[in-house]
Chains A and B, each alone.
Chain A
Amino acid sequence: MTPQTENLYSTREPIFPKRVYGSFRNLKWAIMAVTLGVYYLVPWLRWDRGPNLPDQAVLVDLANRRFYFFWIEIWPHEFYFVAGLLIMAGLGLFLFTSALGRVWCGYACPQTVWTDLFILVERWIEGDRNARIRLHRAKWSTRKVTLRLLKWGAWAIIGVATGGAWVFYFADAPTLANQFLTLTAPSVAWITVAILTATTFVFGGFMREQVCIYMCPWPRIQGAMMDDSTLTVAYRDWRGEPRGKARDATAGDCVDCNACVAVCPMGIDIRDGQQMECITCALCIDACDDIMGKLGRDRGLIDYLALSDAPAEQAGQKPRPIWAHILRPRTILYSVIWAGFGFAMMYALFIRPEIEMTVAPIRNPTFVTLSDGSIRNLYEVRLRNKHGEARQFGIHVSGDPTLRIDVEGTPFETITAAPDATHKLRVYVTTHGQSNAAQAEETPIRFWIEDFGNGDRAAVDTIFNGTGDLR
């Protein structure tokens, strides 16, 4: 072969993965069913939160700045829960990659799952590998056009469903579905569906392995996550080589049937060793095990193996059990950090109060002298009522017996906080001019609120500013 330096760009070699049967394929079907099921169906789950709140179980309500997840309701100032979840997702990815290599890529990544679904549809319409290769090479005919249009149509329907499901997470699903059917949905919903339909159609139908190889940063990052004890899909070359016919007693176990290459969705030969393109989907294991079974040989010519296993097995030692690969200081450390974040967030979630109060002393000016010499401070008080109904609160202040409290706009010390909303108040605290609080520079005080309904209390410490004449 002569080097082809004049070819600066390479054209994509089409890949026609063959149908394969086996335990890993079944596992992937199961994971596909669960992940796609969760994705498409979750927006339709209902969850009763009372009359004033949406009844969608999982809803990102951007307009009202609320995130609902079953019984949990996240307000914007609690965004750290989302940050915590992202940290946990990252650590989880580290954990799984250090133990099992690119298990995320091979089983759960949306690109893999949707590509798998698209290939399934492709096979239903155009047939298995050989039929697809023939169709690919055939000249354009009525049959080819029909099959292509059928396939693209089916892909487009999946794409629309994918984009459609996405927007249901951001609005009431039945309402929005009705709006789509009556062509009254907001334009942002149509645009989002259109973009996601296009990306699903192109990435799942045509880009496939190109997304993993050229577009995704994760394959390049995760090299740092793996080590020589990480389980990846590998070929036992010391058992398989030299390749030869099944009847040849001098040859290894590999009969060079190419089954592992035919089923590979990435279009590689796993017998060349671990390579960047491999997403460890394990379909080649199923394919090879099938052939080995037919030949009456041990399964596992291609198998989940760690780099460190190769020399040990070649030396005739027993292979290390799977738990020894998975339970290592590194993975245990990842698990501990991951669980630590999880427990911390659970704790933060359970100690969340139903009512929150913040008090901001107004410092422009710090105090006001009234005509009778009294000193008055102003506070901006915010009550976050996380209940689904309005609540009545009493508000009090403690710290100096001379302090009086007045709520702007009402003669009463009773506040009605609207349901699921932040109630903003301006609160005056006044003391007569001869009191300690009036003459001191600062006096620590405490605001109290009490729910008249259930006796819930909340308190915030703050400062009362005086004239500072008392020194």
Chain B
Amino acid sequence: MDEPRVDDLTGRPTMGHEFDGIEELNTPMPRWWLWTFYLTIIWGIGYTIAFPAWPMISGATKGLLGYSTRGEVSADIAAHEASNAALVADLNAVDLTEFDPQSDLHRYAVARGASVFRAQCSQCHGSGAAGAVGYPNLLDNDWLWGGSLDEIAYSVRHGIRNETDFDAHYSEMPAFGDILAREEIETLVNFLPSLAHADWDSAGGVLFADNCASCHGARGLGDRSLGAPNLADAIWLYGGDRESLRMTLINARFGVMPAWGQRLTEEDVRAVSTYVHSLGGGE
């Protein structure tokens, strides 16, 4: 390596190295730059003392300020709940039969209910509440046990055909495979899809009147007090094709829903009921 020398053109010292005739001038950094660098080191050490930083065998140092992101989230949640306390009290006090859909409290209930629904209900009823075969669609205007807000709240609170809540909705359709002959079941399978325009004097009509009308009504319009579906409308919970109808008649159906009053807070029951009621089918 060459010795550092003074560059003729600029009068400034060079670094002393040379590559294919190209030399580098010695342009030292300013000293404040160095002090800034030291300052960042001191700041960094202070920071790791003040905040959680150094990994240990189990866990890490806590830091003198006692800060943790988890603690911050808990504090945020607590502050949020405190700020909602008045709304929650109002929600628990409101008469569900006279809940004004234009009120701020209603908007709060719908927003709160939507998050409860996504966490607790969407597993069966779907994230969009459209249901599935065997799990009612909550968007339509067909309700098994009633579609007013307080009726929905009752179904949510006590559930359906569960064994944990004595107030749960309960009804049970017999398995007609043990009661009727296969030919009679086939007659009903052929009769049921056209119930709205049915010939009630036909063999199917007679079979219906004898076996089904006690729960589903003389014209098959259902009975909400029994949770008996309307068979004359366009909606079939377990499918309206012949094979599905045949399976339903032979084996019967027994849809169960938990009693959410035992798992959720009162305000969450009310909120999720309000949300479901607001989905377009509420009565």
Contacts and interface: CB of A to CB of B under 8 A. Distances in A.
Partners in one complex: yes
Interface of A: 1, 3-5, 7-12, 207, 210, 214, 362, 364-365, 368-373, 376, 378, 408-410, 426, 428, 433
A368 B6 contact: no
B14 A3 contact: yes
Given A369-B235, A408-B101, 13 more contacts: A4-B13, A9-B34, A10-B28, A10-B31, A12-B30, A210-B32, A214-B29, A365-B128, A368-B140, A369-B140, A371-B141, A373-B233, A410-B102
A37 to B, nearest CB: 32
Nearest to A369: B234
Contacts of A426: 280
A409 B102 contact: yes
A7 B34 CA distance: 13
Contacts of B141: 370-371
Contact of B16 (A5, A10, A373, A409): A5
A368 B280 contact: yes
B171 to A, nearest CB: 20
A214 B33 CA distance: 9
B196 to A, nearest CB: 9
A365 B235 CA distance: 15
Nearest to A215: B33
A405 to B, nearest CB: 13
A369 B30 CA distance: 76
A368 B234 contact: no
B4 interface: yes
A371 B128 contact: no
Given A8-B28, A12-B31, A365-B130, A370 B13 contact: no
A364 to B, nearest CB: 3
B267 interface: no
A373 B140 contact: no
Contacts of A373: 233-234
Interface residues of B, number: 33
B281 to A, nearest CB: 8
Contacts, number: 89
A20 B31 CA distance: 31
Given A4-B13, A9-B29, A12-B31, A372 B233 contact: yes
B30 A9 contact: yes
A3 B234 contact: no
B139 interface: yes
Contact of A7 (B5, B28, B140, B278): B28
Interface in B219-270: 230, 233-235
Contacts of B34: 9
B139 A3 contact: no
Nearest to B14: A3
A372 B234 contact: yes
A376 B30 contact: no
Contacts of B130: 364-365, 368
Contact of B280 (A9, A372, A428): A428
21 contacts: A1-B13, A3-B4, A3-B5, A5-B16, A9-B29, A10-B30, A11-B30, A214-B30, A362-B128, A364-B128, A364-B130, A365-B128, A369-B235, A370-B234, A371-B140, A371-B142, A371-B230, A378-B280, A409-B278, A410-B101, A433-B234
A69 to B, nearest CB: 33
A428 to B, nearest CB: 6
B280 to A, nearest CB: 6
A362 B129 CA distance: 12
Contacts of A1: 6, 11, 13
B84 interface: no
Contacts of A372: 233-234
Given A5-B4, A9-B31, A371-B234, A408 B16 contact: no
A408 B33 contact: no
A3 B31 contact: no
Contact of B30 (A5, A210, A428, A433): A210
Contacts of B4: 3, 5
A3 B280 CA distance: 86
Nearest to A11: B31
B221 to A, nearest CB: 10
A409 B101 CA distance: 6
B127 interface: yes
A408 B126 CA distance: 21
B204 to A, nearest CB: 21
Contact of A368 (B31, B139, B230, B278): B139
A370 B31 contact: no
A372 B196 CA distance: 10
Interface string B3-19: 01110000101111000
B26 interface: yes
Contacts of A410: 101-102
Contacts of A10: 28-31
B93 to A, nearest CB: 21
A362 B31 CA distance: 63
Contact of A3 (B13, B29, B102, B142): B13
Contacts of A376: 139-140, 280
Contacts of B29: 8-10, 214
B137 interface: yes
Contacts of B128: 362, 364-365
